[in-house]
């Protein structure tokens, strides 16, 4: 019974379709079609306009995505280029540093080891650097450390593969120095909480002046004489006191040290 109903419905639909097609081609339905077209045209225009906007939005979004992708690609290429250039520049700086150090060691007949800074103090109580050289390279406590031929500190702690440098601007740092004045005044250079350098115990009767050069005096073990420290920046002179104090300016920015040299003293060469 159910199959018979479905068959009848299908037959009616097919007959209706055939009838509509015949009436369409004979033109009988044209007035009705024109009326329906007039009624549906506004809806059709809106649907067409909406589909156009949807299409525009789709292509606009796709275009933006393409631009973002291209922009990111260009950024990645720029970063890669900058990284490559920075590595080349770093190698050039290292080569220049090593070239200068080799010349410096050769002129002074000093043995030196180049070392990289791999860490530094993170507080305001101590100013030190951690280097990638240690006992395996023959490093011992007391060796002077330089950069650009200028003393920046001394080794104070050594392990098998690393060591620590106490910078000369640290409060606990002590370095025997000499002022290149008429009297070759000697004194002890110490730091001022990482903010400056000062020489104490300079006899009051010895004349020192702003601009005088300061070098290591060679009066302490493992530090050669004549290593450059800096220049006298200002002087504190008090009438009646036995000693005077001089403040020293180093040419080195202690916050921007990456490569250093550890000077190994050769007593034979010093005596010569």
What tens digit of pLDDT does each residue of 137-154 get? Answer: 999 999 999 987 899 999
Banded model confidence at residue 4, pLDDT cuts 50, 70, 90: confident
Q: Do 152 and 167 meet the contact criterion of CB atoms below 8 Å apart?
A: yes
Q: What's residue 156's pLDDT?
A: 93
Q: Is the pLDDT of residue 166 over 90?
A: yes
Mean pLDDT, residues 77-96: 63
Q: Mean pLDDT, to the nearest integer, of 100-117?
A: 71
Q: How far is CA 109 from CA 11, 135, 262, in A?
A: 114, 22, 14
Residue with the larger pLDDT of the pair 239 and 243? 243
**β-bridge partners, 262:** 113, 145
- Does residue 90 register a pLDDT over 60? no
8 Å CB contact between 228 and 213: yes
pTM of the model: 0.61
Note the residue count of the chain: 272
CB proximity list for 153: less than 8 A, separation 6 or greater:
128, 129, 144, 145, 165, 166, 167, 168, 170, 173
């Amino acid at each position: 019974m159910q199959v018979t109903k479905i068959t009848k419905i299908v037959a009616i639909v097919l007959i209706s379709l055939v009838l509509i097609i015949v009436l369409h081609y004979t033109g009988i339905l044209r007035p009705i079609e024109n009326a329906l077209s007039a009624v549906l045209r506004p809806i059709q225009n809106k649907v067409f306009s909406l589909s156009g906007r949807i299409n525009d939005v789709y292509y606009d979004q796709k275009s933006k995505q393409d631009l973002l992708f291209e922009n990111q690609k260009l950024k990645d290429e720029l970063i890669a280029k900058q990284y490559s250039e920075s590595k080349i520049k770093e190698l050039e700086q290292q080569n220049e540093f090593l070239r200068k150090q080799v010349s410096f060691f050769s002129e002074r007949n000093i043995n030196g080891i180049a070392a990289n800074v791999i860490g530094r103090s993170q507080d305001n109580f101590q100013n030190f650097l951690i280097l990638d050289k240690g006992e395996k390279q023959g490093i011992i406590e007391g060796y002077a450390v330089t950069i650009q031929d200028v003393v920046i500190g001394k080794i104070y702690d050594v392990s098998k593969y690393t060591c620590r440098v106490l910078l000369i601007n640290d409060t606990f740092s002590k370095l025997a120095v000499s002022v290149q004045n008429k009297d070759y005044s000697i004194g002890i250079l110490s730091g001022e909480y990482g903010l400056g350098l000062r020489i104490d115990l300079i006899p009051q009767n010895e004349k020192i002046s702003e601009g005088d050069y300061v070098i290591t005096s060679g009066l302490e073990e493992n530090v050669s004489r004549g290593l450059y420290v800096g220049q006298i920046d200002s002087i504190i002179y008090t009438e009646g006191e036995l000693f005077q104090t001089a403040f020293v300016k180093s040419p080195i920015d202690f916050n921007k040290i990456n490569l250093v040299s550890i000077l190994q003293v050769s007593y034979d060469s010093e005596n010569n």
